[in-house]
Amino acid sequence: MRNHVFSKLKHAAQIGQAGDPRRHFRLGAVGIRKDGKTVSARNSPTPHRNPKAHAEARLARKLTPDSIVFVSRNLHNGDSAMSKPCKSCQRILKSVGVKKVYYTTDYGFEVMSL
Question: Measured at the alpha carbon of residue 109, what is the angle toward residues 113 and 66, in degrees to the nearest 5?
Answer: 30
- To the nearest 10°, report the CA torsion of 97, 47, 104, 99: -10
Distance CA 26, CA 22 (A): 9
pLDDT at position 29, please? Answer: 95
Distance CA 30, CA 1 (A): 16
Model pLDDT for residues 55-91, shown as the tens digit of each residue = 999 999 999 999 999 999 877 666 667 889 999 999 9
pLDDT tier at 4 (50, 70, 90 boundaries)?
confident
Model pLDDT for residues 86-107, shown as the tens digit of each residue = 999 999 999 999 999 999 988 8
pLDDT at position 82, please? Answer: 81
Contact between 12 and 28 under an 8 Å Cβ cutoff? The reply is yes
The conformational region for residue 93 under phi > 0 = left, psi -120 to 50 = alpha, else beta, is alpha
* 52 or 104, greater pLDDT: 104
